């Protein structure tokens, strides 16, 4: 008798142990959506990063939220092409908002709003007859809003959008938008911000200015944080890069990817897929280490239309777009997808965990110094959702 009761309990216990954070059970449908979002997020990151040598920073999670809300406002071939571009082929567009709602709750639950803020908005022109049901869907399932604007008075529309972005990202970014065409019909905007709270945090007593090698000819001085501890580390021979995990107080973690000295950061970037990220996470092993990481602050804003088109999302931007579900008449189309994100990486930690001195080891452990361009990935550990991805080429620039 006891055996029969014990067995199911034991297997439940095992399931709990095996789920990523050991506490949440994720339904296969939600896990599927999460994996597809991560796949799209990594592709989006590679497409954005491949166009610039500067710092890069974006929130795949926030961009996905905006694009999924857009999916619900489209139908027909426009919707099919969007689903395909977002690697959501085969997913039922009717049930997707509920699935996403579940995923979103899991992501936000463990990320206190004080650390991670994100939002999205759909701004159709006043000529759209936006159904109340679509407004409600955007608000309830995607945590965003669908607000009509009058683009025939562009200055007012610009002002409304800029104020919305500033509020959502809590960033200092002024004037994301400076000009808007009077012919604008639809914009999708997403914004996100994050204040890092490493756990354990770095202690600012040990932060000192050190060299950062932007490229072969260009060196800048940056405040470099320091901590000696046991860390999770991996080395990927195929791309020649070290991968360090820095856990955070809110259940998220940062993977910091440092290419070997003779390897260009962009060469590693080309291989950053969601499978690669999962493989890195699996290969992490605990080791004694001294870590030096620069303090940095990034604020980036992107117009993603061109990038999305390279990911084969095109029809929604054309005159034959089908925006019926959000009240768009024939001949209306999406004009632009804006994304804004901001992050502060410094010694701030969990309020109740002491920064402490640092662990003193009997012999000095190896030192990993992030003093040349590196990639970082912030993911939520219980759902493996990609919250942010970025590249620091020069930590003294935003
Ligand atoms: C700013 O954001 C907060 C929280 O999302 C919201 O309650 C408030 O209404 C927003 N303010 C403006 C001016 O949009
Ligand atoms: C980290 O940056 C935030 C935002 O700028 C600031 O409020 C906080 O005091 C900083 N923490 C430290 C330890 O410098
Ligand atoms: C930082 O380290 C110093 C020296 O070990 C220590 O005195 C101080 O309390 C630490 N700071 C925090 C916030 O724990």
Q: Is the CB of 251 under 6 A from ligand 3?
A: no
* Tokens found for residue 147: 């607000």
**Which range is least confidently modeled, 10-14, 180-184, 240-244, 248-252?**
10-14
Nearest CA to ligand 3 atom 12: 355
Architecture of the domain defined by 204-295+350-392: Roll (2.30)
The closest residue, in CA terms, to atom 2 on ligand 3 is: 357
Q: Measured between alpha carbons, how far is 152 from 340 in angstroms, rounded to an integer?
A: 24
Measured from the CB, is residue 357 less than 6 Å from ligand 3? Answer: yes
Question: 29-196+298-343: what fold?
Answer: Antithrombin; Chain I, domain 2 (3.30.497)
**How many whole angstroms separate alpha carbon 124 and alpha carbon 122?**
6
How do residues 193-225 score in pLDDT, each as one tens digit?
998 999 899 999 999 999 999 998 999 999 999
Residue pLDDT, tens place only, 334-383 = 999 999 999 999 998 776 555 555 666 677 788 999 999 999 999 988 88
Please state the domain extents for the chain. Answer: 29-196+298-343, 204-295+350-392
pLDDT digits (tens, 9 = 90+) for 151-184: 999 999 999 999 999 888 776 666 788 889 889 9
Phi and psi at residue 317, to the nearest 5°: -90, -5
The encoded tokens of residue 370 equal: 């992030």
124 Cβ neighbours under 8 A, 6+ residues apart: 130, 146, 148, 149, 185, 186, 323, 326, 327, 328
Ligand 2 site, CB within 6 A? 204, 344, 346-348
pTM assigned to the model: 0.90
DSSP state of 245: E
Please give the pLDDT value at position 5.
Answer: 39
Q: Return the residue matching tokens 């117009």.
A: 303
* Rounded (5°) CA angle 323-325-34: 95
388/232 Cα distance (integer angstroms): 20
Q: Which atom of ligand 1 is nearest to the CA of 167?
A: 1
Q: Output the ligand 1 site: residues, CB below 6 A.
A: 163-164, 167
End-to-end CA gap in the chain = 65
Contacts of 246 (CB under 8 A, 6+ apart): 198, 231, 253, 254, 255, 256, 291, 293
The pair of structure tokens assigned to 250 is: 């809110």
């Amino acid at each position: 008798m006891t055996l029969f009761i014990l067995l199911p309990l034991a297997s439940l216990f095992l399931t709990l142990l095996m789920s990523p954070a050991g506490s949440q059970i994720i339904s296969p449908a939600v896990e599927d959506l999460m994996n597809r979002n991560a796949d799209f997020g990594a592709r989006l990151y590679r497409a954005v990063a491949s166009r610039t040598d500067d710092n890069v920073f974006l929130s795949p999670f926030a961009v996905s939220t905006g694009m999924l809300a857009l999916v619900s406002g489209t139908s027909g071939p426009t919707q099919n092409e969007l689903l395909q571009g977002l690697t959501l082929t085969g997913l039922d567009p009717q049930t997707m908002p509920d699935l996403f709602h579940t995923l979103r709750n899991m992501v936000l639950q463990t990320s206190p709003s004080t650390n991670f803020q994100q939002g999205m908005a759909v701004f159709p022109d006043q000529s759209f007859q936006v159904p109340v049901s679509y407004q409600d869907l955007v608000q309830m399932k995607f945590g965003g809003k669908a607000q009509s604007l009058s683009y025939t008075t562009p200055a007012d529309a610009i002002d409304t959008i800029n104020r919305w972005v500033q509020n959502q990202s809590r960033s200092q970014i002024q004037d994301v938008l400076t000009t808007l065409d009077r012919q604008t019909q639809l914009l999708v905007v997403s914004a996100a911000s994050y204040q890092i709270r490493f756990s354990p945090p770095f202690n600012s007593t040990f932060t000192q200015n050190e060299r950062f090698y932007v490229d072969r000819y260009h060196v800048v001085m940056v405040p470099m944080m320091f901590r000696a501890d046991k860390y999770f580390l991996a080395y990927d021979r195929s791309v020649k890069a070290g991968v360090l995990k820095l856990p955070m107080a809110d259940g998220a973690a940062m993977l910091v990817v440092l290419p070997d000295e003779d390897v260009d950061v962009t060469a590693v970037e080309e291989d950053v897929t969601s499978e690669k990220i999962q493989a890195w996470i699996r290969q992490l092993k605990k080791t004694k280490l001294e870590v030096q990481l620069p303090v940095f602050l990034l604020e980036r804003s992107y117009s993603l239309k061109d990038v999305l088109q390279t990911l084969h999302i095109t029809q929604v931007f054309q005159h034959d777009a089908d925006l019926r579900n959000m009240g768009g008449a024939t001949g209306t189309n999406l004009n632009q997808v804006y994304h804004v994100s901001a992050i502060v990486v410094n010694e701030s930690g969990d309020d109740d965990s002491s920064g402490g001195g640092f662990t003193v080891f009997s012999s000095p452990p190896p030192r990993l110094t992030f003093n040349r361009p590196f990639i970082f990935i912030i993911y939520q550990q219980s759902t493996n959702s990609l919250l942010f991805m970025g590249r620091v080429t020069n930590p003294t620039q935003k």
